[in-house]
Structure 1
Amino acid sequence: MNKKKDLILITLGSIAYITAVVSLLLFLSKGSHLDLTIAFSISMIPLIVILVAAFSYGLKFKSPFMQLEYLPVDSVMGGMETIDEEKAVRDAEKLMEERDLDFLGVINRDGYLTGVFTQMDALQARRKRKINTKLKKVMSKDLIFVNKGDNVIDALRKMIESGHSRLPVVDGKKPIGLVRSIDIGNLLKKIGKS
């Protein structure tokens, strides 16, 4: 809160300084051969020094998006349930029903993410009477994911470009979590309030 007050005081002081400089230049320009451009430029040097000092002191304009650029995606991710790709569709449906999920990461025996299985995939498999089919045959294989080291802006950009509201987070090829657009939205609200 003190930094906000300091920033307001510096801003008001800067406005007062500019007003005083402009008034002085207007006064001096009457009947003087003073080059106003040079005089104005020289008079702005102290203002620039004040602003640089203020920013180095730690007064920064808060933009939620600027903060997201430095925030790693794993700080906003949640857990992601996974299932082996050798399991059948019915196994995935059962797990989704038991845990009230509509999204599963599908992994191979090495624990690498090979696809995702969604409620829509389950409906299509059921419609085609493939509930006993292995997940690796019916899962969504066009993976769009973010890496553990990516920032929240990278995740948001991928969500917008792909139209997905959630993305798996991987460390190497292994899934470590799930980032959802709603989590990023809640984070933006939280940052905006602070």
Structure 2
Amino acid sequence: MSIQPIRIFGDPVLRTPAEDVDTFDKELRGLVKDLLDTMRDEGGAGLAAPQLGISKRVFSFDVDDVIGHIINPVLEFPDEEEQDGPEGCLSLPGLYFDTIRRQNVVAKGFNEYGDPLQIVGTGMMARCLQHETDHLDGIIFIDRLDSDRRKSAMAEIQAQDWYNEDVKVKVTPHDSKGVFFKS
């Protein structure tokens, strides 16, 4: 077990799109293990490689007793149904903000051995798949908030002990039906 430090909001790696994985080897399997171990240790529902400072399109998840990982995920949305509820992030410790996400998602990618993988998510699993895929694209969930919620979230973030005021971060909204999604 190798628990790694988690990068906190303001770290530029969290705003940098991750690179596709093209080699499925022992090093990648070690990264998957580190993601799972660190996520479990922190009690998270998901953890993406950029949160460990690693620019790879990989994340782990643990939602409703479904534990796993996915590599190079592509999201598809079978319908337009949405959910609005509290969302948190291990890179913004202790904070939760109501975030609108799609209710139903299909994630297609690969497992740690390069075998095709498909995950069908509803509710919390759908939220997790979208949240972690956003991390792989350099998007943090507060970017998905409307203007008023985002301003409120930034005020709460700036009040945290872990917040580094020397790091200047511009938060911009992103369309939840962005170019990295297939509809």
TM-score grouping bracket, smaller chain normalisation: under 0.3
Give the number of the structure whose residues are more often helix, by fraction: 1
What's the TM-score, normalizing by structure 1? 0.27
Rg: which structure is higher? 1
What's the TM-score, normalizing by structure 2? 0.28
Give the number of the structure whose residues are more often strand, by fraction: 2
